[in-house]
Structure 1
Amino acid sequence: MPKMTAWRLTIRQRFLAILLFFIISMGIVGTLSFFDLVRIRELTLLVSEVQQLSNALLETRRFEKNFLLYGNPADLAEARNYLEHARVLVNDVARKRGKTGVLSTMDSLRENLADYGQSMETLGQELQGGRPASEAELNNIRAHGKEMVSLAENLLTSESKRIISIIDTLKMQLLTSVVVVIALGVTVALMMFGRLFNTLNIIQTATRRIAQGVFEPLPEVGGESEAKTIVRALNAMVRELEFRQAQLLQAQKLSSIGTLAAGIAHQLNNPLNNISTSSQILIEELDSADPNFMRKMLNNVESESLRAKEIVQGLLEFSRERNFSIVRENLATVIKKTVRLVSSQVPGNIEIIVDVPEDLEVYLDAQRFQEALLNLIINAVHAMDPNPGTVTIVAQKDENTVTMSVADTGKGIPEEVRNQIFDPFFTTKGETGGTGLGLSIVYGIVEKHGGKITVDSEPGAGTTFTIRIPTDMMEQQAREQ
Structure 2
Amino acid sequence: MQHMKKSSSLLNKFILVFVSLAAVIVLLVLITISMLQFMKNQINFREVTSLFYESVLDARRSEKNYFMFYKNSDYEENIRTLARAGELINSNRFFFEHLSGQTVFTFSSLSERYVQMMSNHHHGLTRGKPGDPAAEPAIRLTGQQLLNAAGIFNRNETKYLHAGINRLILFSLSIIAVLAGLCIIIIVIASKKFFAPLKQIEAGLNVITEGGINKINIQVKDQEINSLIDTVNKMVQELEEKKWQLVHSEKIAALGAMLSGITHEINNPVSNISTSVDILKSGTGKKKSALEKKIIGQIEGEIERIRKIIGIITGFSQKKNLKMTWTALNLIIQETYVLLKKNIPEDIDLQIKINRQLYIKADKSCMQQVFINLLKNSADAIGSRKGRITIFGQLLTIKNPDDFSIFYKNPIPSPRKIPGRYIEIQITDSGPGIRENMQNKIFEPFFTTKKNHDNMGLGLYIINEIIREHQGEIFYNNSHEKSGFVILLPARDDQ
TM-score for the superposition, normalised by structure 1: 0.50
